[in-house]
Amino acid sequence: MTGQGLGSGRADGHRGGLVRFPRIPSSTTLGGEVHPYERRRQTALRADQQLITRAAAWLRHDAVQAHYTGALPNPEYAFGLASILDLLARRAEEDDALRDHAVRVCRTMLGDRMDMPATRRTRRR
């Protein structure tokens, strides 16, 4: 097989590799568009994933800063917890209860008080 790369085809036109299947949206209407409920759900999921990822990044940054000042002798524990948060962010759609709890914990870590009704501020007058 001298001179043949991975992308070269056979004489019958077959190119080895993965078979590509057409993408089908998980929840569609008869017109082929994504249902608005599904779109809102995906937007909320993406926001939760970004929040959890932001909390993991903050935890890593804060651990490094605390290690430099000598306040945290073993930052590896914080890095491990940040890795767990990254995994939770990637698998957020698998378990809604776990995602909700992780979002509440991450909001508390970041100082966001939207989950605490007693301290929530509204614009109503």
Q: What is the pLDDT of residue 7?
A: 46
Residue spans of the domains in the chain: they are 50-110
Q: What is the pLDDT of residue 102?
A: 95
CB 81 within 8 A of CB 30: no
Q: The whole model's pTM is what? A: 0.65
What would the pLDDT profile of 14-33 be if each residue is shown by its tens digit?
454 554 544 544 555 455 67
Between CA 79 and CA 60, with CA 86 as vertex, the angle to 5 degrees is 30
Q: Is the pLDDT of residue 81 over 50?
A: yes
Q: What is the pLDDT of residue 8?
A: 45
Query: For the ranges 42-51, 75-84, 114-123, which has the lowest average pLDDT?
Result: 114-123
Q: Is the pLDDT of residue 83 over 90?
A: yes
CB 81 within 8 A of CB 59: yes
What would the pLDDT profile of 37-46 be if each residue is shown by its tens digit?
888 989 999 9
